[in-house]
Structure 1
Amino acid sequence: MSTVVKTQKRDKKENAKLRNSGFIPAIVYGFELESQSIAVNEKDFVKTLREVGRNGVMKLDVDGKSVNVVLSDYQTNILKGQMIHADFLAINMKEELEVNVTVNLTGDSVGVSEGGMLQQPNREITITVKPSDIPDSIDIDVSGMAIGDTLTVADVRDKVGYPISNDDDYTLVTVSAPRVELETEETETESETEETTEE
């Protein structure tokens, strides 16, 4: 596991000052811990995040106590490309928890090779897993998908290896027909309608 990320208590009125001095305002709550407003060193936190991943377990030093946590939520400044607030969930390493995991598509879709458009409306699924077994991502093979096919949670539930909390109809991937063909069909339909009207 990564090194312990040190924290300090913070006053909510000092958020701007903290960010300017290299700290990220945050909150930590959860297992055997009362909700606390804290600040974490940005460099140490970002380094640890790169080591363990978005869903990985990290340790925070809260009032001298080492606490196992996962990053529950965060906010970023898109223009500056920096994290401006983080929520940490203290966890019991022996109990399972629900986490959102990125869906990583593998393989080359048959439909795409035929000119279809692959779309991924939902890029994460929610799984139940022990903290020590949280995967960085879930790989899903789309090589067998043809034009018009849709892949839902129901199609992958037995292949993932973790209990999935999302509903069966939760759409993960679709392969739609090429836009050019659709536009051509619409144009032809409009032309036929105009000809019928003129007659």
Structure 2
Amino acid sequence: MTVLHANERTEFKRSSRTKIREEGLIPAVVYGNNTENKSITVDSKDFIKTIREAGRNGIISLEIGSDKRKVMLYDYQIDPLKSESFVHLDFHVVNFKEEIDVDVSVHVVGDAQGVKDGGVLQQVLHEVSVRTLPNNVPDFIDVDVSELQVNENISIGDLDTSGKYSFNHEEDEVIVSILPPRVEEEIDSGEEQEPGEPERVEGREGSEENKEEA
């Protein structure tokens, strides 16, 4: 299990939080499962490394001095101007006997037959909410679209959970579909003229004859 070290935080002024972030640390809080709430700080580089190793919904061994807690990242805030710049974290202590609700990424895999036939793949859900025990949280959910034809879709009810988790969605909620090929509209160039001689041909010919006689 991935280990993340933390230090307890005792200063809560805005200036203190700013100083913490300037030192490369992230202010955070850990709570839940009938344990004492604690305000802490974690090293930003260590945290990013931990999340990459454990996954967004992975279980982390959080060590605050001699206090060790099994936690999951419950919520976080990111600086909107900087990617992967976390400004606050919420850790929730895990109760391994109690189901939890978590968001899990959806990965579309395979080359859809409908796309080969000219259709357009549309992924409606990129994340799904599941309810499960902490040890059964999937890292992601694969949705195989290899056999999907034009005008067909895969919905929540089509997925196999192997009994490890359930979805917090209606069974008919669409995850991915294949739209029919786009049909280009024919451009109308205007009314077609009927075949035949141009109008007033006789008039023009007559005028030419009159010129010759003159």
> TM > 0.5 between the two?
yes
Equivalent residue for 1:11? 12
What is the CA RMSD across the aligned residues, in angstroms? 2.3
Tell me the distance in 1 between the aligned counterparts of 2:39 and 2:174.
Answer: 37
| Identity across matched positions, percent | 38
TM-score of the two chains, using structure 2 as the length reference = 0.77
Change (3 A) 1:53 1:134: same
Residues 81-92 of structure 1 correspond to what in structure 2 (within 5 A)? Answer: 81=83, 82-92=85-95
TM-score of the two chains, using structure 1 as the length reference = 0.82
Tell me the distance in 2 between the aligned counterparts of 1:12 and 1:111.
Answer: 57
Offset from partner CA, 1:119-146 (integer Å, 9 cap, x none)? 2121112222222222211111111111
Structure 2 stretches lacking a partner, 5+ long: 192-214
Tell me the distance in 1 between the aligned counterparts of 2:5 and 2:173.
Answer: 36
Cα displacement (A) at 1:47: 1.7
| C-alpha contact (below 8 Å) 1:116/1:175 kept by paired residues | yes
Kindly provide the amino acid, as one letter, of the partner of residue 11 in structure 1. F
Structure 1 stretches lacking a partner, 5+ long: none
| C-alpha contact (below 8 Å) 1:99/1:127 kept by paired residues | yes
Change (3 A) 1:12 1:108: farther
| C-alpha contact (below 8 Å) 2:149/2:178 kept by paired residues | yes
Give the number of equivalent residue pairs.
Answer: 186
Equivalent residue for 2:69? 67
SS of the equivalent of 2:147 reads: coil
Tell me the distance in 2 between the aligned counterparts of 1:27 and 1:166.
Answer: 30
Specify which of 124, 129, 147 is matched with residue 150 of structure 2.
Answer: 147
SS of the equivalent of 1:3 reads: strand
Cα displacement (A) at 1:23: 0.8
Tell me the distance in 1 between the aligned counterparts of 2:107 and 2:35.
Answer: 34
